[in-house]
């Protein structure tokens, strides 16, 4: 076991251990039909630089330069499945067909540089409608370009935010369809890996934000149902030969919240769903 402390303890780590780490880190990895040239993945980091969900030159340079630099898997930032699913007005989107062409330009360049393009599909729920970080990062009211947020329960993300709209069953089914449609567009756009964003409270997992008493809330089994339903919806349109990842938060770091034990139990369910990798 090699820890980060080992890596940064100058002179204390044996050269053989460094060679072992390097041999693993820079060895290829096969996931279904995809072969990654090494084990390095660019984390999905929001750029807040899109307009109406459209990618532009900033995204081409940002992702393209990492592909040219040797990264094996370029995971695109949280990409909204609907306008209301954006964190900020600057988020990328895949809720309409017009978003496909600008992304094709990026995925082609990534592949030309020997890397694999991936995309993270997301719905920000009650954490949506936020100003871009360098513009203050506060909640955006509709009159300032914001929108109504949605959530499993009527619990605001913070004291400064209004109460989100509680999703009914029909609205949940609409979101499932939006994930499937976005996955289909992602395939058309040239992405080879799909990641479902279920971290940071973006899904129904945490008992702190999900106090429903229907099929989508309450027990662990019911709180995980939305994520499992999203996976099923996406798998209807995503080819079996291409990988699917799921990103989770291992813990809420709060009493009575989502924790490591539940993450382990969720991992077992994701294995049954034949998810290829859990991004923790």
pLDDT tens per residue, range 14-55: 777 778 777 899 999 999 999 999 999 999 999 999 999 999
pLDDT at residue 2 tops 60: no
Between helix 169-189 and helix 100-112 the angle, nearest 10°, is 50
- Rounded-to-integer distance, Cα 66 and Cα 29, Å: 18
- Rounded-to-integer distance, Cα 96 and Cα 53, Å: 9
Q: What is the pTM of this model?
A: 0.92
Per-residue pLDDT of 148-168, as tens digits, reads 999 999 999 998 899 999 999
Q: Any catalytic annotation for residue 48? A: no
Residue 1: per-residue pLDDT: 44
By C-alpha distance, which of 254, 252, 249, 253 is closest to 266? 249
pLDDT at residue 58 tops 60: yes
State residue 202 phi and psi, 5-degree precision: -75, -10
Which of the four pLDDT bands, split at 50, 70 and 90, describes residue 187? Answer: very high
Decide: 246 and 198 in contact? Cβ < 8 Å: yes
Decide: 278 and 268 in contact? Cβ < 8 Å: no
pLDDT at residue 11 tops 80: no
Residue 31: per-residue pLDDT: 98
- Rounded-to-integer distance, Cα 130 and Cα 124, Å: 10
Torsion of CA 185, 186, 192, 198, to 10 degrees: -130
- Rounded-to-integer distance, Cα 150 and Cα 9, Å: 46
Is residue 96 left, alpha or beta, with left meaning phi > 0 and alpha meaning psi from -120 to 50?
A: beta
Residue 23: per-residue pLDDT: 84
- Rounded-to-integer distance, Cα 109 and Cα 64, Å: 6
Q: Helix/strand/coil (H, E, C) string of 5-53?
A: HHHCCCCCCCHHHHHHHHHHHCCCEEECCEEECCCCEECCCCCCCCECC
- Rounded-to-integer distance, Cα 195 and Cα 123, Å: 12
**Residue tagged active-site, from 63, 157, 202, 216:** 202
Q: What average pLDDT does the chain have?
A: 94
Instruction: Give the dihedral sign, CA 42/46/49/55.
Output: positive
Instruction: Give the dihedral sign, CA 102/103/107/109.
Output: positive
């Amino acid at each position: 076991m090699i820890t980060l402390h080992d890596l940064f303890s100058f002179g204390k780590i044996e050269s053989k251990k460094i060679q072992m780490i390097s041999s693993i880190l820079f060895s290829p990895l096969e996931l279904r039909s995809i072969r990654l040239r090494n084990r390095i993945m660019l984390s999905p980091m929001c750029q807040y630089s899109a307009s109406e969900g459209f990618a532009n030159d900033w995204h081409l340079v940002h992702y393209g330069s990492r592909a040219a630099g040797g990264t094996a898997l370029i995971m695109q930032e949280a990409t909204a499945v609907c306008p209301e699913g954006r964190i900020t007005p600057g988020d990328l989107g895949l809720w309409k067909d017009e978003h496909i062409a600008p992304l094709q330009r990026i995925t082609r360049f990534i592949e030309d540089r020997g890397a694999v393009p991936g995309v993270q599909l997301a719905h920000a729920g009650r954490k949506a409608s936020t100003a871009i970080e360098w513009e203050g990062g506060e909640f955006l009211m509709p009159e300032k370009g914001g929108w109504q947020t949605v959530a499993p329960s009527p619990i605001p993300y913070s004291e400064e935010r209004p109460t989100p709209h509680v999703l009914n069953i029909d609205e949940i089914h609409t979101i499932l369809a939006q994930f499937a449609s976005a996955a289909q567009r992602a395939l058309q756009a040239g992405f080879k890996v799909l990641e479902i964003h279920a971290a940071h409270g973006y899904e129904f997992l945490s008992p702190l934000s999900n106090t429903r008493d229907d099929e989508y809330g309450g027990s662990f089994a019911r709180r995980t149902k939305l994520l499992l339903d999203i996976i099923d919806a996406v798998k209807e349109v995503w080819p079996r030969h291409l990988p699917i990842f799921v990103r989770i938060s291992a813990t809420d770091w709060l009493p009575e919240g989502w924790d490591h034990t539940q993450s382990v139990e969720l991992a077992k369910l994701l294995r049954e769903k034949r998810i290829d990798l859990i991004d923790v």
